Structure 1
Amino acid sequence: MNDLSNWQSCPNPENVTLKGDHVTVETWDRAKHQSELWAALDIEDANKLMHYFPQATFDGEEDFGAWLEKSNSSGAFQTMVFRSHEAGKLVGMASYMAIDAKNGSIEVGAVAHGPQMSRSRMSTEAHYLMAKYVFEDLGYRRYEWKLNNENKPSHRAALRFGFAYEGLFRQHIVAKGRNRDTAWYSMIDGEWPLCKAAFEAWLSDQNFDAAGLQVKTLEEIRDAL
């Protein structure tokens, strides 16, 4: 563990743009992003996509935008939206949450990937860029991923990205009139170099065949490294 005798607080996330090869991560701006983001998430059913979010279901775009704006203006969230380079449109979002700058801990949550992001390099690259910003630009020690324990896809995503399972908070909150047990995952700064190398190796063109299919999974690459 690093010597923390001279530890100082980390800065809060700022209004930034993070550019990758396939996706750009932009800081939420209601006037600029609300309609486009809602359209990306509501292609099939936005409320179904955000079923495991603890807040009530949305009546439509304005209700969604008001909730996201309130969450950001209160400091509870700093929402980042994902823009596809190929389509030029927004395709999803995630938020920095539970920001504890004093102790260098921050969460990524409120994750919603539109169907355009499903099983694509954009999804992995967006989370790589967000993690890289947290560890390398802001200097955080701990990056959290928390989820409703019933959300199996989110469990798989956390493990795939390299987060370590830490445990279960039983009867943690009441969400939408139901009990929620919350599973906790984290990635810490000492693990980031390995996770970063795996992300970059997986995202490289050499890891995809002529049909665009991955040669090795992210887990296989990380295990080999």
Structure 2
Amino acid sequence: MQPQPPYDLRPADDDRPVTVDRREGPYGEVVLRRRGDGGPSGDAVFEIIANGCFLMDTSDGRSERLLIRAALRALPADRPSPALLIGGLGVGFSLVEAVAEPRWGRIAVVEREAAVIDWHREGPLAAVTAGALADPRAEIVHADLVAWLRTGPRAPQTPQSYDALCLDIDNGPDWTVTEDNDGLYSPAGLAACAARLAPGGVLAVWSAQPSPAFEESLRNAGFTQVRTEEVAVARGVPDVVHLAVRGA
């Protein structure tokens, strides 16, 4: 096992963010920052920044949890042990929400940043997801989601389809972290998502703002029951979850 980096968990003197860890990877720079007390009081807020773009933090998590709940609500109640794919590990709220629901069957999380996986397995974010990662239904797949959707797992014992795809790798279809992620919301990318869904399966996509253009793209890709659920925020435009169902 390679040694872990020396995470900076010293208490901050003020509200300025403290860089806990910084990595350079194949997709650019990824940073874990902390605001507030890093000591035992537990009120520190951790933030993930990719190439200077704020992705998410541990201050709330309502919209990440709604992503999972909305997908489950959209599935038929009599579908046994539905398989779930989560695109993006982030700060772990979506995974924690998923394992808290006994109805889910196998839960796979595809995360392309090795640093993010490290922060959860042995770093500061282990406090958020240690219990979830120990759940026997859960697995972490280190891969680029866009490429993985097109190629998929190679192991013959691994199911090739899922009942729900919950995607949270960008700030939304109109605001991607890297240019390569644009392909996920293109006709080819949506076709790849549909191919990974079982008939009647649900695609749920988190976004920092509504995207009527993406809703139209979903309809053009053959998805049905396209709709958007809002998540109220303290200020500004609500977060949303775009939902769509693959036809039979």
Q: Normalized against structure 1, the TM-score is what?
A: 0.35
Higher relative contact order (CA 8 A, sep 6+): 1
